[in-house]
């Protein structure tokens, strides 16, 4: 019959490889990075002070953390492809809500952005673990982050400049457009939904409820350490993205200057181009530990300059971001190599809570520190965290990693 027509399906890659996931991550990064500088500035304008901004981020992260444990159920009921698609649509909705300029819409936009990113992160990691061999992760992960650097360098500056020049509508439309493009590209590459997570071995406990996966996760030292390393890395970026624009604004500089500082910090992610070669020579363990310790050392003078010279503090934050960027490409490797195949969905859900917790605990701590020691106390606390985790990674990460 004439109505029974098979419409053609556009397929970029019959067997998805590293470049497929790099493309998806790049387009997602454009959408998220465009508002990376804009959202803290809009929140600062709505709530009036940095303590209130911190508390807003804390409240949003607490809700997002609870919602993140529903993601495996969403994947089971909606499938991976529709869960990923929902994440892209939430990013678009976040951008549109940001235009309303009210407290409730700001908080809701922050929540949709955080939860949408969680949906995208978990589903993409599951696709990666199904299609990329563990031995290839040291090459594919730095490649993914290196290409995303283009987005995280250009988009925050474009977003901040357009916000300062044309108002909030310009960057939010650009971000929403990128989110819609992500939705379209994802459906064009047609990732295979039929690749199952391997069945559990005989006698192994099958974990269904992600909350019940938490004790199993905590019982595995390598997973605990992988989470802690990721948490410290993410805590730096949360601090960098939220508080650098506010630091510049309070120091008398424009939104464009804030966007430039954030862009230069993200430019450091290009170090991931060379990370694979360096890691093969010096080991992932040494690179991760050394990068954290060096970042901590850079944050100490940042704290000293923060009170009187915001621009100098911003430049030192860029220096610290160079070392943290080294960690970004290799940061997921300890988890991806340690997780057991049959526990991937639940353990991935527990592991990626480092994102929510890093958006929950640091802003909450900072809300108290701002009243006691201002930005100086904030950056000293971050330096202590990075230094402690660097020494822990050096001591406990497997030497063979």
* Element of type H or E holding 129: helix 103-131
Q: 18-190+211-396: what CATH class?
A: mainly alpha
pLDDT of residue 40: 92
Q: pTM of the prediction?
A: 0.78
> From CA 14, how far away is CA 25, in angstroms rounded?
19
Taking only the tens place, the pLDDT of each residue in 22-52 is 888 889 999 999 998 899 999 999 988 888 9
Of the two residues 120 and 280, the one the predictor is more confident about is 120
Which among 395, 384, 387, 382 has a CA at the least distance from the CA of 286?
395
CB 221 within 8 Å of CB 396? yes
Percentage, residues of the chain above pLDDT 70: 82
Report d(CA 364, CA 154) in Å as an integer: 30
The torsion of the CA quartet 132, 135, 136, 140, rounded to 10 degrees, works out to 90
Give residue 328's pLDDT.
77
Helical (H) or strand (E) element with 376 = helix 353-396
Q: CA-CA distance, 363 to 57, in Å (whole number)?
A: 7
Average pLDDT score, the chain: 82
In the chain, where the domains are located? 18-190+211-396
Show Cβ contacts of residue 263 under 8 Å, excluding neighbours closer than 6 positions.
153, 154, 156, 157
């Amino acid at each position: 019959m004439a109505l029974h027509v098979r419409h053609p399906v556009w397929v970029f890659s019959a067997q998805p490889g590293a470049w497929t996931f790099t493309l998806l991550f790049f387009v997602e990064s454009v959408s998220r990075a465009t508002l990376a500088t804009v959202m803290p500035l809009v929140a600062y304008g709505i709530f009036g002070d940095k303590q209130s901004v911190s508390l807003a981020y804390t409240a949003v992260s607490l809700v997002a953390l609870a919602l993140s444990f529903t993601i495996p159920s969403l994947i089971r009921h909606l499938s991976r492809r529709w869960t990923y698609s929902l994440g892209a649509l939430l990013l678009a909705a976040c951008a549109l809500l940001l235009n309303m300029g009210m407290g409730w819409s700001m908080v809701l936009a922050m929540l949709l952005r955080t939860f949408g990113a969680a949906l995208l992160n978990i589903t993409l990691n599951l696709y990666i673990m199904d299609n990329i061999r563990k031995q290839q992760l040291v090459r594919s992960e730095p490649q993914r982050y290196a290409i995303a650097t283009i987005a995280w360098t250009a988009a925050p500056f474009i977003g901040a400049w357009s916000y300062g020049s044309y108002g909030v509508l310009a960057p939010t439309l650009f971000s929403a457009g990128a989110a819609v493009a992500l939705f379209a590209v994802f459906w064009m590459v047609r990732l295979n939904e039929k690749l199952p997570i391997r069945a559990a071995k005989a006698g192994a406990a099958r974990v269904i409820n992600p909350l019940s996966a938490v004790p199993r996760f905590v019982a595995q030292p390598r997973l605990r350490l992988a989470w802690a390393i990721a948490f410290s890395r993410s805590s730096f970026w949360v601090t960098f993205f939220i508080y650098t624009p506010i630091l510049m604004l309070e120091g008398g500089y424009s939104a464009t200057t804030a966007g430039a500082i954030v862009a230069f910090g993200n430019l450091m992610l290009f170090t991931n181009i060379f990370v694979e070669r360096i890691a093969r020579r010096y080991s992932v363990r040494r690179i991760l530990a050394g990068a954290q310790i060096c970042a901590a050392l850079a944050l100490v003078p940042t704290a000293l300059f923060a009170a009187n010279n915001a621009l100098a503090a911003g430049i030192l934050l860029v220096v610290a971001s160079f070392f943290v960027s080294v960690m970004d490409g290799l940061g997921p490797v300890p988890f991806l190599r340690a997780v057991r195949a049959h526990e991937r969905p639940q353990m991935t859900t527990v592991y990626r809570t480092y994102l929510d917790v890093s958006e929950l605990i640091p802003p909450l701590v900072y809300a108290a520190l701002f009243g006691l020691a201002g930005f100086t106390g904030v950056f000293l606390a971050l330096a202590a965290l990075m230094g402690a985790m660097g020494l822990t990674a050096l001591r406990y990460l497997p030497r063979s990693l």
